[in-house]
Structure 1
Amino acid sequence: MTTDRNATGLGRTPGLPEEHFVHDGLITKHPVRAVALAALRPAPGELLWDLGTGAGSIAVDWCRTDPACRAVGVERRPERAANARANADNLTLPGQFEVREGPIDELIDALPAPDAVFIGGGLTARLAERCMEVLPPGGRLVVHAVTMEAEVVIADLHGAHGGELFRLGIETADRIGRLRGWRPARTITCWNWTRQADRAGEQ
């Protein structure tokens, strides 16, 4: 666990290593986070919804890019919400990252209007489409999935609304006895979508 609220020690570049977070092992790995933040494109003063926030790592990386960035995370599991709050306290400025605990579909209507949305857990087609509806022109939606069920949802959303769809695989060097080899992480299916000024021209 690390304390670096003003980003002077670890910098502002997205992709903070997992060792700096409180987590239960289920955390978006830092190379994947860097790719997600590149698509979310945080700008000063913007607000992110991090839905299914888990340890809050996406929201933390978003907030650390600029002191004026803010995030609201939603997490239904109390122990993970507690981890996200600890990470908010340790790695972001006071008031930057708020964690709300409970089911996403029960809390989403009370959230402040977002500039960007990341869905890392709890994905349904209705949730994604609700997020698309509330985003302003230029707003970004990024969805990551690791299950086959979520991949089906993403494929259908891409077919209906366009955007960018790709799969991301990461392999890390690891020991195999006295030698070394590559240890693959779970492949991530990624869908990035941007709200256009004219819905007829959405991409």
Structure 2
Amino acid sequence: MTIDRDASLLGRTPGLPEEHFAHDGLITKHPVRAVALAGLRPMPGELLWDLGTGAGSIAVDWCRADPTCRAIGVEQRADRAANARTNAANLTLPGQFEVREGPVAELVEDLPSPDAIFIGGGLTAEIAERCLGVLPPGGRLVVHAVTMEADVVIAALHADHGGELFRLGVETADRIGRLRGWKPARTITCWNWTKPPA
């Protein structure tokens, strides 16, 4: 793990390598995170909801984009919430990234209004519709999914609301005996949506 609260060591560009985070192996990988942050477009003073935050890597990269950006991560699992808190303490300024522990569907009711939302885990149609409703005009929603069940939800959201729908595949070099080859990661289905003007 790395300590770099003010981004003076690792810079502000999104997509910090995974070795800088406390995580259990389930973390949004840095190339995918960079694509997510491009859709979220953090701007000074804005607040992100990172739902299903896991290790908090999306929220960390959001906060590092500008010292006035803030994030609230929601995570149901206590061990992952603990990792997210460690990453917040090590990689963001004090007070920038808050982690709330519990079911997303319950906790979103009491969160302050966001400027952008990332859903990386626990996607349901109900949570997505709640997020669409709470965003202000110009607010951004980015949803990533790796399961077929979440793909169905994303396909319906895209059909109903438009936005940008694409799949992202990443392959990394790996050993095949004494040679090398490409090892694919799970393909990510991505939906980016910006709320139109009122």
TM-score range for the pair, normalised by the shorter chain length = over 0.9
CA-to-aligned-CA distance 1:36-86 (integer Å, 9 cap, x gap): 000000000000000000000000000000000000000000000000000
1:66 aligns with 2:70: no
Q: Distance in 2 between matches of 1:138 and 1:19?
A: 34
Aligned to 2:108: 108
Separation of aligned partners in 1, 2:166 and 2:159: 13
User: Percent identity over the alignment?
Assistant: 82
RMSD (Å), alpha carbons: 0.4
1:97 alignment counterpart: 97
Q: Which amino acid aligns with 1:155?
A: A
1:193 partnered with 2:189? no
The one-letter code sitting in structure 1 at the alignment partner of 2:40 is: L
* TM-score w.r.t. length of structure 1: 0.97
1:15 aligns with 2:39: no
Matched, 1:149 2:153: no
Q: Partner letter of residue 62 of structure 2?
A: W
Q: Which amino acid aligns with 1:16?
A: L
Q: Secondary structure at the match of 2:122?
A: coil
**Stretches of 4+ aligned residues off by more than 6 angstroms:** none
* Structure 2 partner of 1:201: none
**What SS class does the counterpart of residue 12 from structure 2 fall into?**
coil
One-letter amino acid matched to 1:137 = P
Deviations 1:141-191 (A, max 9, x none): 000000000000000010000000000000000111111000000000000
Q: Amino acid of the residue matched to residue 104 of structure 2? A: I
Q: Distance in 2 between matches of 1:168 and 1:83?
A: 26
Unaligned runs of 5+ in 1: 199-203
3-state SS of the aligned residue for 1:153? helix
Give the number of aligned pairs.
Answer: 198
| Alignment partner of 1:40 is 2:36 | no
Distance in 1 (alpha carbons) for counterparts of 2:126 and 2:107: 14
Unaligned 5+ residue runs, structure 2? none
How many angstroms apart in 1 are the aligned matches of 2:112 and 2:97? Answer: 13
Question: Structure 1: which amino acid aligns with 2:14?
Answer: P
Q: Which residue of 2 aligns with 1:2?
A: 2
> Which amino acid letter does the alignment assign opposite residue 49 of structure 2?
W
Partner SS, residue 182 of structure 2: strand
1:73 match: secondary structure: strand
Q: CA deviation at 1:16?
A: 0.3
**CA displacement, residues 112-153 of structure 1 (integer Å, 9 cap, x when unaligned):** 110000000110111111001010010000000000000000
